[in-house]
Amino acid sequence: MIGDLATFQDELAASGFPPLVNKRAGAGFRARIDVRELGPLRLVSLETPESACVGRERDASDGDNLAIKVMTRGRTRIEQGRGDAELGPADLVLLDPTRAFRFESTASAHVTILVPRRELRMRPAQLDRLVGARIDGSHGPGALVSVLARESARSATELREAAALRSAAAVVELIAVALEARLGDEQPAPDERLRDRITGYIEARLADPDLSPPGIAAAHHISVRRLHKLFEDQPLTVAALIRRRRLERCRAELAGGAPAGTGGRTVTAVAARWGFSDPTHFSKLFKTTYGYNARALTTSNRARTTKTRTAGPEQDGGHR
């Protein structure tokens, strides 16, 4: 049992949870955390006192996992995206750790399954519809996920590697079935389908420096006003979405280094490749968004490359 909020938050962060601010933690704080691995999944069992927590939006690069929270005791209200879920025992909810959220709960116990995003293969529009939405854990696929999550949290360490991988695959498959069933309960409205198409259109044309709301609206035969109306309840406006996705592409390319045979890539070249024609504007925008200069990524890559090349001969005995 942990009796210190700071220690508890450190252990939560180490397990892969986003940073939380608990507004109700008092001097008598007591909580328990148990982390177990099941193949590519991480199962985090928590017992917590009455809580009111807020989690801030995080950078997309910090969100390798999605989270399935399964209640075992107590009640919780969670708000994320457009969802506002009231959860009781056995109920579950999908959460995106990169998005802002808030929750209030009684003293409770719950199991959270951290699932690599690639395992669920969900499109952005599907995530928008599912995050923060209650999934009934009393019947159907939701009940199977609920039972399996609680049992897996207890017995994960008893499984051999092959059995753990097969069990993880079964858990992921059941989660996918439960999420698909929830999607079936809420067919997307025409506006959501149109927004999904527009998001895909933007993603495919991020390198086009002329990509802009007027051009996007014209390509979809709608007015600019209608385009902005489609995105008014989304986390980002159209222009902000274009800017954020371009920045993420630039950051990923700079962090990954230049492909072989390119002779290196400067910050200016990468920025231009993803639609930023003004290097000064790009540098300021990158620093404001991420808190450090884009050039720091290329410097870090050069240092890693130099270290690897220097270490190479030593690792193979100096023979070529």
5-185 with 201-310: one CATH topology?
A: no
pLDDT at residue 226, rounded to an integer? 94
Q: What is the pLDDT of residues 72-130, one digit of tens each?
A: 999 999 999 888 899 999 999 999 988 889 999 999 999 999 999 888 877 777 888 89
Q: What is residue 309's predicted lDDT score, i.e. its pLDDT?
A: 47
Amino acid, res. 225: R
Give the position of tokens 């753990």.
Answer: 164
| CB-CB neighbours of 265 under 10 Å | 17
Domains in the chain: boundaries? 5-185, 201-310
CB 43 within 8 A of CB 111: yes
For the sheet with 83-87, list strands across it: 21-22, 51-55, 101-105, 76-80, 83-87
Question: Which CATH number does 201-310 carry?
Answer: 1.10.10.60
- Rounded CA gap, 8 and 199, in Å? 39
Query: Which superfamily does 5-185 belong to?
Result: Jelly Rolls (2.60.120.10)
Q: Which two tokens stand for residue 123?
A: 């499109």
The pLDDT assigned to 315 comes to 42
Place of tokens 């067919």: 187
**What amino acid is encoded at 118 in this protein?**
R
Q: What is the pLDDT of residue 263?
A: 41
Q: Which amino acid is at 164?
A: A
CB 250 within 8 A of CB 274: yes
Identify the pLDDT of residue 283: 93
**Is 0.75 topped by the overall pTM?**
no
Q: What is the 8-class DSSP label of residue 99?
A: S
Longest Cα pair distance anywhere in the chain, in angstroms? 66
Quick one: pLDDT at residue 313?
44
Query: For residues 97 and 21, is the Cβ–Cβ distance under 8 A?
Result: no
HEC states along 214-283? HHHHHHCCCCHHHHHHHCCCCCCCHHHHHHHHHHHHHHHHHHHCCCCCCCCCCHHHHHHHCCCCCHHHHH
Are 40 and 92 within 8 A, CB to CB? no
Contact 244, 252 (CB under 8 A): no
**Residue range 283-311, pLDDT digits in tens:** 999 999 888 888 888 766 555 544 444 44
Return the pLDDT at 319.
39
Contacts of 200 (CB under 8 A, 6+ apart): none
Mean pLDDT by 10 residues, the chain (320 residues): 87 84 81 92 93 83 85 94 90 92 93 90 82 92 91 81 84 90 72 86 90 95 94 88 91 67 69 91 91 81 50 42
Residue pair 254/299 in contact (Cβ under 8 Å)? The answer is no
